[in-house]
């Protein structure tokens, strides 16, 4: 399983050697266009692109044959992609906070916990929907298009709600509905999504592994 994660990381870095620079540039663009939404949009959007690219690289390089020669099973592929998605959002969010901390008081405000939690909730919800779709229908143009529609819908609808929940008038210390409870709920949805993906790959009678 960890060999698969290592493979995805190596392929991603080799395929896009300017990944970090492009991400920082994306932060500035999102800040100009979507401020204040930029604090939990650039990392979510970029993380989704990186994750979907791992499926694209597998298809382009016919990685399925390589995986078949390794001592792994279908469940390992599912686990690796879910673990990788968590690693990606943690890394991009960390970069966000570093940039915002450096630029705090100039172009950006400093990082806040609410922004981190909102990013986590949004990304987990998006991934929880899209990974089962990828495992079921493989990587295709329509599934990617569906993914961007999901991002748009969740970002517009859910992010506004999360901002309201994060507001001090709603998110009180003794309230049940707050970003902490919603983050826990998003983690539960994420785990249920992983179980669904496991069921999908185990019932893939055609054994068309992510081609």
Give yes or no for residue 120 having a pLDDT over 80.
yes
pLDDT at 174: 57
Angstrom distance (rounded) from CA 146 to CA 136: 13
pTM (2 decimals)? Answer: 0.80
Average pLDDT, the chain: 77
Residue 208 is predicted with a pLDDT of 44
pLDDT of residue 205 exceeding 70, the answer is no
Q: What is the pLDDT of residues 31-53, one digit of tens each?
A: 767 666 667 778 888 888 888 88
Name the burial class of residue 178, with classes exposed (0-12), middle (13-18) and buried (19+) by CB atoms within 10 angstroms of its CB: middle
- Show the tokens assigned to 7: 């493979």
Reported confidence tier of residue 207, pLDDT bands at 50, 70, 90:
very low
Q: Which residue has the higher pLDDT, 153 or 200?
A: 200
Q: Does residue 150 have a pLDDT over 90?
A: no
Residue burial 123-157, b: 16+ Cβ < 10 Å; e: rest: bbbbbbbbbbbbbeebbeeebbebbeebbeebbee
Measure the CA–CA gap between 62 and 180, rounded to whole angstroms. Answer: 41
Nearest Cα neighbor of 36 from 184, 150, 181, 162 is 162
């Amino acid at each position: 399983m960890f060999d698969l994660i290592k493979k995805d990381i190596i392929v991603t870095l080799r395929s896009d050697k300017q990944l970090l620079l492009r991400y920082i540039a994306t932060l500035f663009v999102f800040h100009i266009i979507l401020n204040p939404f930029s604090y939990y949009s650039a990392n979510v959007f970029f993380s989704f692109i990186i994750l979907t690219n791992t499926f694209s690289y597998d298809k382009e390089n016919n990685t399925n044959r390589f995986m078949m020669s390794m001592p792994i099973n279908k469940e390992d592929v599912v686990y690796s992609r879910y673990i990788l998605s968590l690693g990606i959002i943690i890394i991009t969010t960390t970069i966000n906070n570093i940039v915002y901390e450096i630029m705090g008081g100039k172009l950006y405000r400093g990082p806040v916990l609410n922004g981190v939690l909102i990013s986590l909730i949004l990304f987990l919800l998006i991934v929880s929907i899209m990974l089962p779709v990828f495992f079921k229908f493989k990587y295709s143009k329509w599934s990617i298009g569906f993914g961007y529609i999901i991002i748009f819908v969740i970002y517009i609808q859910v992010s506004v709600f999360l901002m309201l929940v994060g507001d001090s008038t709603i998110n009180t210390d003794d309230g049940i509905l707050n970003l902490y409870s919603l983050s826990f709920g998003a983690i539960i949805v994420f785990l249920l999504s992983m179980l669904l993906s496991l069921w999908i790959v185990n019932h893939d009678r055609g054994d068309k592994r992510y081609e």
